[in-house]
Amino acid sequence: MTPKAVGESSAEKGEAVSTLLVGILMGSDSDLPIMEEAASTLDQLRIGFEMRICSAHRSPEKAAQYAREAEGRGIKVLVAGAGAAAHLAGALAAHTTLPVIGVPLSSSPLQGLDALLATVQMPSGVPVATMALDQAGARNAAIFAAQILALRDPDLSSRLKAYKEKMAKGIEEKDRQLQTRKGSSIVQSQK
Ligand code: RP5
């Protein structure tokens, strides 16, 4: 698969995007619809990324090589999404000292419990920061990567604060809309 252009849609909006900082990997193209959530979140935060497909089981040499070369290419954080016997994040972590964030996916008949356990249960000495399943996990992986990068990037830290404030405002707006329905028994019931 051709790597996704770094920060494509931010660039289209004329916003400055950082150089390549995050590698998003996934075990199969069937994971792409979910892992796009990580990409779009990084894009919103104007963080440069690339997306690649490589499998811990089907293309183990390619996965190892990617992990070994990532730091030298300037990448700072790896995000890995996989389903079923989800060993991709762990297999990458075996070959790099970059932080690896794992996103377990519910693509299998076991609906993600297999992927969750395979991702989170790393042996002592080789950590993988494991997120929630599916879209929430993919989005959180991007935010977590941003939080790591923001430790040395005050501008990104400000963008993250703005991102959180926007989220809080969104919840406040939803509550405001709910309160306009006061009087309805769905919202309030007092005997
Ligand atoms: C895993 O197996 C992939 O990460 C994917 O979630 C799952 C199914 O892959 P496909 O059979 O759809 O390629 O390795």
Please report, as a single letter, which amino acid is at residue 98: L
**Joined tokens for residue 189:** 């019931």
Per-residue pLDDT reduced to its tens digit, 85-139? 999 999 999 999 999 999 999 999 999 999 999 999 999 999 999 999 999 999 9
DSSP class per residue in 84-111: SS--HHHHHHTT-SS-EEEEEE--STTT
Q: Model-level pTM greater than 0.95?
A: no
CA 159/CA 148 separation, integer angstroms: 13
Q: Does any ligand 1 atom lie closer than 6 A to the CB of residue 133?
A: no
Q: Does any ligand 1 atom lie closer than 6 A to the CB of residue 82?
A: yes
Please report, as a single letter, which amino acid is at residue 165: E
Helix H or strand E encompassing 129? strand 129-130
**Joined tokens for residue 26:** 């996934």
Q: Does any ligand 1 atom lie closer than 6 A to the CB of residue 59?
A: no
Per-residue pLDDT reduced to its tens digit, 28-58? 999 999 999 999 999 999 999 999 999 999 9
